[in-house]
């Protein structure tokens, strides 16, 4: 333990306390930013999901309307009514009829009707993934903060002992060890891409 006595030096302890305090505050600040970004993306998630669901329901109503107009056209024998029904088709149904008059309600028709909803749901997936990345980053930074706070506690306890005390050297060594572990943990914190 005598070889570690230099760790009990006032300057070394003061430096350890300062570094550990700054690193703890820095990890806390970055964790706060990660939490804010996670919340921001979760809010966008909810917005995209709600918008996607609303667009899906709206598309369903237009599909029912297209079926109604198509059935009206199919069952009428009056040319004026035929024109009315055909002019009432959605653009998507008109495009589908132009592509394949025998199968207007094809998968392509449904895909075009639901395209806006699918777009919102795709945005939801993207934003949800980013929110998860911010959550993982925040969790990693919380661990860094915990390790650094533990090291700060060790340095504080070391500073209470007498300079020639073995306990002071031991607590100083533990503070240095937690500083190293904290830095390694910080370097392993996931980033958001």
Q: Could you read off the pLDDT of 88-139 as tens digits, one per residue?
A: 999 999 999 999 988 999 999 999 999 999 999 999 999 999 999 999 999 9
| Mean pLDDT value across residues 171-184 | 93
Query: Residue 107 and residue 113: Cα distance in Å, rounded?
Result: 10
Question: What is the enclosing helix (H) or strand (E) of 101?
Answer: none
In a domain, 140, yes or no: yes
Domain count within the chain: 1
In a domain, 193, yes or no: no
| Mean pLDDT value across residues 150-174 | 86
In a domain, 147, yes or no: yes
In a domain, 108, yes or no: yes
In a domain, 192, yes or no: no
In a domain, 144, yes or no: yes
pTM of the model: 0.75
Domain that residue 17 falls in: 2-187
Q: Tokens 């958001």: give the residue.
A: 192
Q: Tokens 């395209």: give the residue.
A: 115
| Mean pLDDT value across residues 134-147 | 96
Given pLDDT bands bounded at 50, 70 and 90, which one contains residue 10?
Answer: confident
């Amino acid at each position: 333990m005598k070889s570690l006595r230099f760790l009990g030096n006032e300057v070394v302890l003061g430096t350890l306390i300062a570094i550990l305090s700054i690193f703890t505050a820095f990890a806390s600040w970055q964790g706060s930013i990660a939490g804010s970004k996670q919340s921001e993306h979760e809010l966008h998630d909810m917005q995209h999901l709600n918008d996607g669901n609303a667009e899906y329901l709206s598309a369903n109503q237009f599909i029912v309307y297209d079926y109604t107009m198509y059935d009206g056209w199919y069952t009428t024998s009056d040319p004026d009514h035929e024109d009315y029904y055909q002019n009432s088709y959605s653009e998507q149904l008109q495009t589908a009829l132009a592509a394949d008059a025998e199968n207007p309600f094809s998968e392509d028709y449904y895909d075009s009707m639901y395209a806006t909803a699918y777009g919102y749901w795709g945005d939801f997936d993207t934003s949800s993934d980013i929110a998860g990345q911010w959550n993982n980053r925040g969790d990693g930074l919380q661990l860094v903060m915990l390790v650094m706070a533990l090291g700060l506690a060790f340095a504080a306890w070391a500073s209470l002992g007498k300079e020639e005390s073995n306990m002071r050297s031991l607590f100083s060594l533990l503070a240095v060890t937690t500083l190293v572990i904290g830095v390694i943990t910080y370097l392993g914190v996931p980033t958001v891409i």
